[in-house]
Structure 1
Amino acid sequence: MTHHKERKEKVCIKTRKVYDWVTRQVDVPLRSFSNGDLEAIFPESKCPRQGQTVCDFFASNGLSAGDFSIRCFLTDDEGNRIDRTVDNNALICQEILQPNGRQPVHVTLPSGDTVTLQKVKVLVKGHVVVQVVNANGHVVCESSPIPFATAQTFILCAPEGTTLDCHISFFECDASLICTDNFSQLDVSITLCLEVQMEAEVKLEVEARYCQPREEILEATLCPTDKFPPQCPEVFPAH
């Protein structure tokens, strides 16, 4: 392959500059449902209880504590299961605008220097669905979409003109259903990893050279090539 040395030149490009970038694990406040709220979460259309309470329905169907499992997953607002990595639009992640704008915060760095950053508030909202599955893997009961929300405050380099870009890099939902003679309750706990970036569109002058296509790598031939065995030049023909 022949390489041609090209002259570098200064070019102007327009791109998104990242001013700050942090990741935070967020434990969403526990959602608990009991009594009438529990029955409302599992409607007759998705849990044919025929007027029974949720726990009575499980008992009448032989679903003791060891005979069923509960799973919880991310959905849209209609209850359709979504893949966080594919359809991140089903989750709302946006900045909460403050009446007087982002408030400045003076922060002392480990070096002793003081810098001025900004307070950024972020809202995360979405839905989950809880399913009750019997020992054969059949879904016997499914909840309506359960909304969740959390508000987080970050101290970031976020000067005026920057915008928030955030997404969920990890999502986990766990549900626990308790049915006793005197007590029934569904608890839903959600943990997510929130990635937050402050960005702005800027024009940068960089030193660069234009790219050229590389030479094509051809598929190796299938025809064998005869090769001679290696010689021993120290011995023959030495002289």
Structure 2
Amino acid sequence: MKVKNLSGGQELLCVNVDKVYDWVTSQASVNLPGTTITFPAGVADPCAAGTNILDITAEVTVGAVTEVGDRVNRTFIINGAEVTLQRVTIVKSLSIAVTVSALTALGAQITVTGVPIPATVTESYFLCAPEGTAINVSAYDTESSVSGACVAGVGLVVDIAAVICQSIQVTAPVTIELTADFCAPRENIIAACPAPAIPPQCPVVFPTPLA
């Protein structure tokens, strides 16, 4: 094979990258009505007598994402062309932490966080996901709303609704050939020393011209 000379600072490269076969974004929802919040031992009880709850918030953390079951082929007609996609089912593990701000009977403001609540979300998508590809899910935004009240003999009972915005990509490692320019470092920025300053004179008083 004859090797051609490349112009400038270019080189023919073989690079290992992940090829994206499909990419969608979606919204996953989770609702946990009537959930009793347990607080760690030693923290103040927001449902103690005389305590007034000021605010309740929830923070959602997305954990492991697992593909379950087999991928099932299904044929669609898209823009007049027949295409076979795969139904992919994924399960996301969530952890939801509820934080309560309250005013005690003595007038002190407290903020306590309950034991994280585990939850799972199962979803199915039709994707271009042939054998040998991997499913990569990343959450890039979460929103949650929570309301609740203290129930006698039970504790704090809340209704939680959360939305997870997620990116779902189907990828596989490939080796590609490309022609690329070499990168070079930029010029270093050096703070220059200022020129020596000459103190100003007082010409009104000195020097005075000789008579």
TM over 0.5: yes
Alignment-derived partner of residue 176 in structure 1: 147
User: 1:130 Cα deviation (Å)?
Assistant: 1.1
- CA deviation vs aligned residue, 1:140-175 (integer Å, no higher than 9, x gap): x43221111100101101000001111111112222
Alignment-derived partner of residue 228 in structure 1: none
Mapped partners of 1:44, 1:216: distance in 2? 55
Q: Structure 1 pair 62/223, CA: closer, same or farther in 2 (3 Å)? A: closer
User: 1:105 Cα deviation (Å)?
Assistant: 1.2
Alignment-derived partner of residue 77 in structure 2: 108
| Alignment coverage as a number of residue pairs | 184
Q: Larger helix proportion, structure 1 or 2?
A: 1
Mapped partners of 1:69, 1:7: distance in 2? 61
Which has more radius of gyration? 2
Maintained 8 Å contact 2:138/2:167: yes
Letter of the aligned partner of 1:119 in structure 2? R
Mapped partners of 1:134, 1:103: distance in 2? 51
Pairing 1:53-202 to 2, within 5 Å after superposition: 57=48, 60-63=49-52, 67-74=53-60, 91-96=63-68, 98=69, 101-109=70-78, 111-134=79-102, 137-139=109-111, 141-179=112-150, 185-202=157-174
Q: Any unmatched runs of 5+ in structure 1?
A: 76-89, 225-239
Q: Structure 1 pair 132/114, CA: closer, same or farther in 2 (3 Å)? A: same
Q: Any unmatched runs of 5+ in structure 2?
A: 1-5, 196-211
Which of residues 12, 19, 22 is equivalent to 1:20?
A: 22
Mapped partners of 2:149, 2:174: distance in 1? 55
Mapped partners of 2:150, 2:182: distance in 1? 66
SS, match of residue 91 in structure 1: strand
Letter of the aligned partner of 1:132 in structure 2? V
Q: CA RMSD in A?
A: 3.0
User: 1:48 Cα deviation (Å)?
Assistant: 4.7
Maintained 8 Å contact 1:46/1:143: no
Maintained 8 Å contact 2:44/2:110: no
TM-score, with length taken from structure 2: 0.73
TM-score, with length taken from structure 1: 0.65
SS, match of residue 8 in structure 2: coil
- CA deviation vs aligned residue, 1:73-120 (integer Å, no higher than 9, x gap): 236xxxxxxxxxxxxxx6111211x2xx311111121x2111001111
